[in-house]
Amino acid sequence: MEVIAEAIEPLYVTRPLLPDMARVTEKLKTVWASQVLSNGGEQHLLLEQQLKAFLNVPELSLFNNGTTALMVGLRALGLQGEVITTPFSFPASTHVLSWSGITPVFCDIDPVSLTLDAAKVEALITPRTTGILGVHVYGNPCQCDALASIANQNGLRILYDAAHAFGTEVNGRSIAEYGDLTMFSFHATKLFHCAEGGALVCHNPELKARIDLMKNFGIRNEFDVVMPGINGKMNELQAVMGQLVLEMVRDEQAKRKHLRQQYTAYLQGVDGIRLRAVPNNTRDCQQYLVVEIDESLFGASRDAVFLTLRRHNIHARKYFYPLISDYPCYRDLPSASPAALPMARLMASRLLCLPFYGDLAETSVARICELIQSCQQGRVNGGR
């Protein structure tokens, strides 16, 4: 039985959208003819326009990846000293602080949104604090209004990491309207991608102009280099990929929405298992499907479920375990103390991301959910 199961094709948590190759080739012919491969060519310009329209935002700068975009964002906002952030995220959201010579200050998360608990932010502000780096984790919007008022009262800037929130809307408006700057990642694992890529969204053309200088070595023109910049430019091949993937996003979201309904149907009524949902006023972008496993009700731990799925070649992911504050490079910071981050710890022990991409078959969803339930009933004893 186990041997047969293992022969089945592995299922991963996501699968990148891949445009029709003939169309990619067709577009690449234009690039070949132009002999321009980077430095803000025609494809870059086109993608920038298309993304501004899709996301309904005023100003957007493309980047070679989301991490560089975050680093440029921190610098463009003049952040230094200490920045308050979440330990419940992908490593990049804290590493960019460290790489910029900024001390990360971890703040616990709120149990509903899983983002920075705004009620706990103020107590962490010191004379060295210059900003807040919030992450719209799993596409759940941060407590943006509360964070904005804290920032206003204390003279702080806000940079949002929206790597999981491409196209997320709150009350009918883009999530990128919040904060001073918002970063999107276009890595292959993200809903919309350019293989690698990213963007910064801001609210005024002056800031966009500064960001565009920063991502191109500070070069204003042939003879003027006006600031110490970096190379954060998206190239023409990435921009071609992005244009074609963007055409597929709405359809992919619809398919994922349907899959979410299937998962819900299979798992509802199972004690101790809960599909995490986004708030009512939010249009979810369908980046992840997250279940919360409460061991005391379910009768098996998240880790037990994870291992059972893995034995059957289903690669669910424990996002975000371990917490960033537990990495050896951060665990000695005063704010990394486990006692100060109880909710982040609890969620890191309970949450599991399940396979979630448009082409996932309903039979696979059924199989995944059966395996999960079998942990509860002790039918899968786990031995190989």
> What's the residue count for the chain?
384
Residue 359, classed as helix, strand or coil, is coil
| Cβ 265 to ligand PLP shortest distance, Å | 28
Which residues, other chains included, contact 235 with Cβ-Cβ below 8 Å and sequence gap of 6+? 37, 38, 44, 64
| Cβ 132 to ligand PLP shortest distance, Å | 15
CA–CA distances in Å: residue 97 to residues 70, 77, 80, 125, 380: 9, 13, 9, 16, 44
| Cβ 299 to ligand PLP shortest distance, Å | 31
User: What would the two tokens of residue 281 be?
Assistant: 């006023």
CA–CA dist 260, 1 (Å, integer): 28
Q: What is the DSSP code string of 309-321?
A: HHHTTEE-B-TT-
| Cβ 79 to ligand PLP shortest distance, Å | 16
Shorter beta-carbon distance to ligand PLP: residue 121 or 133: 133
CA–CA dist 110, 362 (Å, integer): 33
User: What would the two tokens of residue 108 be?
Assistant: 């616990």
Which residues, other chains included, contact 131 with Cβ-Cβ below 8 Å and sequence gap of 6+? 74, 77, 79, 83, 84, 151, 156, 157, 158, 159
Shorter beta-carbon distance to ligand PLP: residue 306 or 319: 319
Closest residue to ligand PLP: CB criterion: 66
| Cβ 247 to ligand PLP shortest distance, Å | 21
Shorter beta-carbon distance to ligand PLP: residue 67 or 373: 67
Residue 291, classed as helix, strand or coil, is strand
Shorter beta-carbon distance to ligand PLP: residue 240 or 380: 240
Helix H or strand E encompassing 283: strand 282-283
Q: Which residues bind ligand PLP (CB under 6 A)?
A: 65-67, 89-90, 92-93, 135, 161, 163-164, 185, 187, 198
| Cβ 319 to ligand PLP shortest distance, Å | 8
Shorter beta-carbon distance to ligand PLP: residue 104 or 312: 104
Alpha helices in 102-225 (DSSP H): 118-121, 144-154, 205-214
